Structure 1
Amino acid sequence: MPLPRRLAASAAVASALGLALVGCSTTVHLEPAEDANDPICAEVSVLLPENVAGFDRVWTDAQATGAWGDPTIVLRCGVEPPAPSDLVCTTIGNVDWLVLDQEEERQRLVTYGREPALEVIIRREAEVDFRTVVEKLSASVQPGLAPATAQCTERVDFPQS
């Protein structure tokens, strides 16, 4: 086969392969947090791990977000920092977290004393160890986080799933 025809054939195969690969990937639709464009969120985004609690990272379509599983675990950077409250506050991986929601279907936590704040949502039906998830995320993103400006005054053990 002459060289131009071989190149054209190779390009057609590569194009078909590319379309097949694109067709297999899934993008999770998420809403970005209000301050997702904060430079700290860019730092956090590049530090997100490829795997959390056995779940592989999946693509998201929103700035400063991460998702793992289908998604079982979701992280958003740039959420509004919570004010002091009487909610459960726990320290995991040298990061303070407020437990905002302990609903039947999900667990939601937000970093406390850091701006911008991170939000982590974990689906309960996946039967994952919440502490392991938050420890992994805390350890991964801590170098990119802003220094803490406040700390939990009363810490409790992380609630069990």
Structure 2
Amino acid sequence: MSHPNGPSPAATRPRRLRLSVLLLAGAATLALSGCSPVVPMDPAVDASSPDCAAVVVRLPDAIAKDTEAEQPKRETNAQGTGAWGSPASVFLSCGVPAPGPTTDRCVTVNGVDWVIDESDAPNYYFTTYGRTPAVRVLVNNDVVSGTTAITELSGAVSVIPAEGACTTTPAD
């Protein structure tokens, strides 16, 4: 016989338990997802390029993996981008305009040429040279080595075919 004011207390226990479990699971999900909010970024002009899609799917899960300075990959809100660290200290944008001839330092790392802009130290900008679309990486060098970051990103970036290379002029 049912209770005149609704289900019996014994009948509501399983329902309360399920509700409690669902609420607890929801709270845990919110708490864990709150640890790493999405990194806001603006997409580059050519971020929708198929070459950029090929780069993004090859990005590493961490920069400086297995070191004290390890920077885990973060979710971003823009196409053709990547970010690492909490707070983010390495930012990648694919689809930026390719740099023209420059007197800035240019280095080759794992077969990828990078132009280095150190004018905003300790934030260093590394832009691929001789690849279209170009990839720009911003690294906070106080947190992780720029050399480490571009070394670990060069594998993903190398899927964009090289059309040119750094050159050096011998000193007179």
How high is the TM-score relative to the length of structure 1?
0.83
1:91 equivalenced with 2:108 (yes/no):
yes
Deviations 1:134-160 (A, max 9, x none): 111102432xx321111112289xxxx
Q: Which residue of 1 aligns with 2:145?
A: 129
Q: Distance in 2 between matches of 1:9 and 1:56?
A: 33
Deviations 1:58-98 (A, max 9, x none): 22111111111121111110100111222211111100111
Deviations 1:115-137 (A, max 9, x none): 110001111322x3322221111
Q: Distance in 2 between matches of 1:24 and 1:106?
A: 24
1:60 equivalenced with 2:76 (yes/no):
yes
Q: Which residue of 1 aligns with 2:120?
A: 103
Q: Which has the higher helix share?
A: 1
Asked whether the 8 Å contact 2:125–2:136 carries over to 1, the reply is yes
How high is the TM-score relative to the length of structure 2?
0.78
Q: Which residue of 2 aligns with 1:48?
A: 59
Point out the structure with max Rg over C-alpha.
Answer: 2
Q: Which residue of 2 aligns with 1:13?
A: 24
Q: Distance in 1 between matches of 2:30 and 2:148?
A: 36
Structure 1: gaps spanning 5 or more residues: 157-161
Q: Distance in 2 between matches of 1:8 and 1:105?
A: 50
**1:19 positional shift:** 2.1
1:154 equivalenced with 2:161 (yes/no):
no
Aligned sequence identity (%): 38
Asked whether the 8 Å contact 2:56–2:156 carries over to 1, the reply is no
